[in-house]
Structure 1
Amino acid sequence: MKVKGFTLIELVVGMLVIGIAIVMLTSMLFPQADRAAYTLHKVRSAELAHAVLNEIWGKRFDENTDANGGAPACGSGLAGSSACSATLGPDSGESRHDFDDIDDYAGVSGLTINSNMLDSTQTYLSQYPGYQLSVSASYPNGLADRNTKLIQVDVTTPSGEVITYHALRSNY
């Protein structure tokens, strides 16, 4: 009669192989979950910044630029053109939905992420929970050259990382 079973050596070798497999899983595979969340935060921050930049990009260049495009661009030096505004920031009493030019976003920190998205019933907060947003606009070359504005959007992810996005807008 032949007895079938495992020897002590076979059991030890089997436990050793399982131990090595568990070590490899915990050191290589499981940390990938953290990296996947990190990548997701970056993608979501890019989506949020893109949504806000699209809103800003749809505005006219300057308060002194004709909204209908009939007059020459401000600061162009052409007959009938006016000088571009020297002060950046929202006009007095303006809320975000009243912003009519890109420099109205200058100095706006924590752009009401709890307010509705432009022309939507959804809020930024409901679509991007845990994210924070800050927007600014400036003249990159100082007041001497008012024909270019730099828009900066800082998005803070739920993990606390601040990702900065820039866009340049020229006066045309």
Structure 2
Amino acid sequence: MLSLSQRGVTLIELVIGITVLAVALTLITAVLSPLFVRSTDPWHQVRASELGHSLMNEILARSFDEQSDRSGGLLRCDEVTLGAEPCTAEANFGPDGETRLWFNDVDDFDGFGASGSDILTNILALELDDVYRNYRAEVSVRYAGTELGLPQRSVKRIEVVITTPANSAIAFSAYKGNW
């Protein structure tokens, strides 16, 4: 006769125990898996912020317009009294035949788009595809003087939208004035 301390587990009890454990682990994993995906969001947001800030600095370092004086700002486009050339029409925004490295005014960036695995480079034309793989950058430039209570063509609004690998879009905007 077997005593209670020598009693073992039957095969049926073992199979039921394994099944209950498997169901419990499946439920726990299903609840936690969305958290694993979201855990990278802050990291991607910081990377997108770095990229957006860098690209915005590059754009703002350029002159206001193709017709602006680049040697010290003595002549600004649309200054009729000084005989300056008119500012570029918004319909003509975009590159004037230059590549990104040679963009010389803010509106050359209008319509610019790049991705980390495509043509995203820094200002020195060094590729950043390893650092910003699957990120996308898109730039738009528009006249926006009336938004600030000024003549329409005296201010340009630059908008940079960075899309992270998780398809989260982060927008940056700035104004460049003709003064």
TM-score band, normalised by shorter chain = 0.7 to 0.9
* 1:1-172 correspondence to structure 2 within 5 Å: 33-69=36-72, 71-86=74-89, 87-91=92-96, 93-110=97-114, 114-119=119-124, 121=126, 123-141=127-145, 145-172=152-179
Cα offset, 1:29, TM superposition: 8.0
Name stretches of at least 5 consecutive residues in structure 2 with no aligned partner.
Answer: 1-24
Give SS of 2:49's match: helix
Cα offset, 1:103, TM superposition: 0.3
Conserved 8 A contact 2:52-2:172: yes
Name stretches of at least 5 consecutive residues in structure 1 with no aligned partner.
Answer: 1-21
Conserved 8 A contact 2:115-2:133: no
Give SS of 2:39's match: helix
Q: Which amino acid is the alignment partner of residue 166 of structure 2?
A: S
Percent of aligned pairs sharing the same letter: 34
TM-score (norm 1): 0.73
Give SS of 1:129's match: coil
Number of aligned positions between the proteins: 164
Cα-to-partner distance string for 1:77-102 (whole Å, 9 max, x where unaligned): 442433211121110x2111110000
Cα offset, 1:146, TM superposition: 0.8
Give the aligned CA root-mean-square deviation in angstroms.
3.6
* 1:131–1:148 CA distance, 2 compared to 1 (3 A): same
Conserved 8 A contact 1:147-1:170: yes
Cα-to-partner distance string for 1:132-159 (whole Å, 9 max, x where unaligned): 11111111358x6111111111111001
2: CA distance between counterparts of 1:84 and 1:115?
A: 29
* 1:111–1:37 CA distance, 2 compared to 1 (3 A): closer
